[in-house]
Amino acid sequence: MPNTQVTPTRMELQNTKKRLDTARRGYKLLKDKRDELMRQFLALVREDMALREKVEAGIRSANKNFVIAKAGMDEATLNTALMAPKQEVDLEVGKKNIMSVDVPVLNTKTRTADANDIYSYGFAFTSSDLDGAVKSLADILPDMLKLAEVEKSCQLMAAEIEKTRRRVNALEHVTIPDAQETIKYITMKLDENERSSQVRLMKVKDMVLEDAHHYNENE
């Protein structure tokens, strides 16, 4: 519905047209942003699915090796072997900007650079299955962290997509139509005023001519 509270003047018409142009430009920019966010979001979702499958497969392998190791070792020896971890991992959380969305970036740094420096026990009283389980968990850790990074990025981008979608819909279905209706209303009122002014001028002209005619007759 047109905003009938506005004053139907040429200045208001000009201002409304400017607002309409701004809303149209904003609509186009937000629509492009929404489409690009969707494209990158879908790419992240595909990456998330691949990482999840890889992580779940790694966890299943580690659990299988732990079960086999536990079956072949007594519980006290197993608990002692895993009591004190040897390797340490420091986690650094950064961020990067994707289409105005700050998504997390996780970086890790181990205490030692040796990839095999993960066994906190001697090999004399432990089984090779325990070694395989520890190795599986160590190998899957980077993918687990990457999965956490990607899933959080998906959550943040989904929220931004929803916010952008609402703005696009508001511009498309509310702001732009209202401005168009207001322009139509003001234009109609201005045309009516112009026609009324012309009618008044014609009546004034007729009155002047009539007075002039009577004046000539009296002379």
Which residue's structure tokens are 């990067």? Answer: 96
Which tens digits make up the pLDDT trace of 51-69?
999 999 988 888 888 888 7
Alpha helices in the chain (DSSP H): 10-72, 75-81, 128-170, 176-218
Q: Which residue has the higher pLDDT, 71 or 215?
A: 71
Q: How far apart are CA 47 and CA 52, in angstroms?
A: 9
pLDDT single digits (tens) 169-204: 999 999 999 999 999 999 888 888 777 777 777 777
Question: How sure is the predictor about 27, in pLDDT bands with cuts at 50, 70 and 90?
Answer: very high
Q: How confident is the model at residue 137 (pLDDT cuts 50, 70, 90)?
A: confident
How many other β-carbons are positioned within 10 Å of the β-carbon of residue 40? 17
Q: Say if residue 23's pLDDT is above 90.
A: yes
Q: State in Å, rounded, how far the first CA of the chain is from the last one.
A: 60
This prediction's pTM: 0.73
3-class SS of residue 86: coil
Residue 104: which of 93, 89, 115, 91 has the closest Cα? 93
The percentage of the chain sitting over the pLDDT mark of 90, rounded to a whole number, equals 41
- Interatomic CA distance for residues 80 and 121, integer angstroms: 8
Task: Give the least confident one: 22-26, 59-63, 127-131, 144-148.
Answer: 127-131
Give the SS3 label for residue 110: strand
Per-residue pLDDT tens over the stretch 138-168? 888 889 999 999 999 999 999 999 999 999 9
d(CA 52, CA 64): 18
> What phi and psi values does residue 104 have, to the nearest 5 degrees?
-75, 150
Distance, CA of 187 to CA of 115 (rounded, Å) = 76
Closest CA to 30 of 175, 164, 173: 164
